[in-house]
Amino acid sequence: MKVKIINYSNILYTGYIKSLIAPGKNGKFQLLKNHISFISILKNGHIILIEKNNKVKQIKIQKGILKINKNLIVILI
């Protein structure tokens, strides 16, 4: 899956990942390859990215919105 994490002034992360865990408004959720199209409001917490080489990255967020469609994840924070 390809992911782009964008804030008001620049791109914070772009790359290919195996999995993503995000703090949704109603609780944490995980996205894997071929996930159904989905939009969610995000709350305070960390986005956890598991890269193809199994490295784990965390990005702290205050709030945002996430959209996944056809293995492309876009997160606006």
The full set of domain ranges for the chain reads 15-76
With CA atoms as reference, report the closest residue to 75 among 51, 31, 29, 40. Answer: 40
CA distance 10 to 19: 23
Q: What is the pLDDT at residue 35?
A: 95
pLDDT tens digit sequence for 14-58:
999 999 999 999 999 999 999 999 999 999 999 999 999 999 999
Question: Could you tell me the pTM of the whole model?
Answer: 0.94
CA distance 33 to 42: 20
CA distance 26 to 28: 7
Residue keyed to tokens 């956890």: 48
CATH superfamily of 15-76: F0F1 ATP synthase delta/epsilon subunit, N-terminal (2.60.15.10)
